[in-house]
Chains A and B, each alone.
Chain A
Amino acid sequence: DTGVSQDPRHKITKRGQNVTFRCDPISEHNRLYWYRQTLGQGPEFLTYFQNEAQLEKSRLLSDRFSAERPKGSFSTLEIQRTEQGDSAMYLCASSSGQGTGELFFGEGSRLTVL
């Protein structure tokens, strides 16, 4: 399968712990996006990369959130000192950055903070 893959699919953690999610995009895609989605809401933009460069980060994103894409391939999203409000589905998407701008989404990583 050459789609976008995310790991882990589910994560349950206690408040105050750090968590890290990994995203492997479609191999030929140079753009990678992170979104957060809660029940009944649309995906909320967090950040995106073109190759290894982080081009934009949402102003709503707390300093507890950090994302990397060190070699322009896979990406990690780390949340430090998790809070209950961080509970959500974290979606990764990739695109070729050409033409249509279609984003291909992974299945998401669901975070539950107790």
Chain B
Amino acid sequence: QKEVEQNSGPLSVPEGAIASLNCTYSDRGSQSFFWYRQYSGKSPELIMSIYSNGDKEDGRFTAQLNKASQYVSLLIRDSQPSDSATYLCAVTGSQGNLIFGKGTKLSVKP
């Protein structure tokens, strides 16, 4: 059973701080990695995708991938209260489906 593991949190950071979210996955054959954000009562929405080792930056968000360690992370710089949400790590499976972790709940305190 392919798995995606995340710390469920909650992770609490002060406004303006860096929030660091981590994820590990079990399938070494996975090729594509995603971070989705889910506000309470809403559906997930994609915020970052990463496909090769290293860092990928988009605004205040940086995704990091280390395939050797089977590890993906998301950094949120200058965290804002509006970033308070559950962050879902997702990894493509061998059949083309997308497997999600349980999510990490982030709370940014003003």
Chain A residue at minimal CB-CB distance from B46: A102
Q: Is the CB of A42 within 8 A of B102?
A: yes
> Hey, which chain B residues are within 8 Å of A25, CB to CB?
none
Q: What's the Cα separation between A48 and B102 when bound, in Å?
A: 20
Interface size on A, residues (CB 8 A): 23
Closest CB of chain B to A21's CB: distance in Å?
14
Q: Is the CB of B49 within 8 A of A43?
A: no
A40-B97 CB under 8 A given contacts A91-B43, A108-B43: no
Chain B residue at minimal CB-CB distance from A101: B32
> Hey, which chain B residues are within 8 Å of A43, CB to CB?
44, 88, 100
Select A101's contact among B8, B45, B92, beta carbons within 8 Å.
B92
**A74 within 8 Å of B (CB atoms):** no
A48-B43 CB under 8 A given contacts A42-B103, A101-B32, A102-B49: no
Q: Is the CB of B43 within 8 A of A101?
A: no
**B95 within 8 Å of A (CB atoms):** yes
Chain A proximity mask over B5-33: 1 for CB below 8 Å, otherwise 0: 01010000000000000000000000010
A101-B49 CB under 8 A given contacts A40-B8, A56-B95: yes
**A2 within 8 Å of B (CB atoms):** no
Q: Is the CB of A101 within 8 A of B34?
A: yes
Q: Is the CB of A41 within 8 A of B102?
A: yes
Chain A proximity mask over B59-89: 1 for CB below 8 Å, otherwise 0: 0000000000000000000000000000010
> Hey, which chain B residues are within 8 Å of A33, CB to CB?
97-98
Q: What's the Cα separation between A25 and B32 when bound, in Å?
A: 22
Please name 9 further chain A to chain B contacts, defined as beta carbons within 8 Å, in addition to the given A97-B96, A108-B43, sorted by A numbering: A33-B97, A35-B100, A41-B102, A42-B103, A43-B44, A48-B96, A55-B96, A56-B97, A100-B32
Across the A-B interface, give the 5 residue pairs with the lowest CB-CB distance, nearest first. Answer: A42-B100, A105-B43, A56-B95, A42-B102, A43-B100
